[in-house]
Amino acid sequence: MYLLFYFLGIFNLLLAFAQQPRLIVEMKTNTSIIRVHQCGSRRDLCLNTRGTNTIQSSINMDEPLRAIHEYSNTMLCSLLWNPEPNNVLVIGLGGGVIPRTFRYYYPKTIIDIVEIDPNIVQIAKEHFLFKIDPLMNLFVNDARLYIRSVINQQLKTYDIIFSDAFTESDEGTPFHLKTVEYLFELKQLLSKQNGILVTYIQKDSSDYYNSRQTYSFVFKYNYAFSGQTCNCVVLVSYDNHLFPILTQTQMINNAIIIQENKQFMFNLTMEALKLENDEHKWSNSGTVLNDRARFVATIVGKNYFSFYSAIANDIKPSGSVY
Ligand X SMILES: *[C@@H]1O[C@H](CO)[C@@H](O)[C@H](O)[C@H]1NC(C)=O
Residue 164 is among the residues annotated as catalytic for this protein: yes
From candidates 12, 19, 20, 31, binder to ligand X by CB under 6 A: 31
Single out the segment in contact with ligand X by CB under 6 A; choices: 134-142, 168-176, 267-275, 285-293.
Answer: 267-275
Smallest gap, in angstroms, from Cβ of residue 274 to ligand X? Answer: 12
What residue spans of the chain are helical by DSSP H? Answer: 2-19, 71-74, 97-105, 118-127, 143-153, 180-189, 208-218, 248-262, 268-272, 279-282, 297-300, 302-314
Q: Choose the catalytic residue: 164, 170, 239, 314.
A: 164
Q: Does the footprint of ligand X cover residue 249 (CB under 6 A)?
A: no
User: What 8-state DSSP symbol labels residue 44?
Assistant: E
One-character DSSP codes across 96-140: -HHHHHHHHH-TTSEEEEEES-HHHHHHHHHHS-----TTEEEEE
Q: Which of 1, 5, 30, 242 binds ligand X (CB under 6 A)?
A: 30
To ligand X, the closest distance from the beta carbon of 263 in angstroms equals 9
| Cβ pair 196, 159 in contact under 8 A | yes
**List 149, 267, 306, 313, residue binding ligand X (CB under 6 A):** 267
Residue (30 or 277) nearer to ligand X, CB? 30
- Between 29 and 250, whose beta carbon lies closer to ligand X? 29
- Tell me which DSSP letter residue 101 carries: H
Contacts of ligand X in 183-202 (CB under 6 A):
none
Coil, strand or helix at 269: helix
Which residues are near ligand X by CB under 6 A? 29-31, 259, 267, 269-270
Active site residues: 164
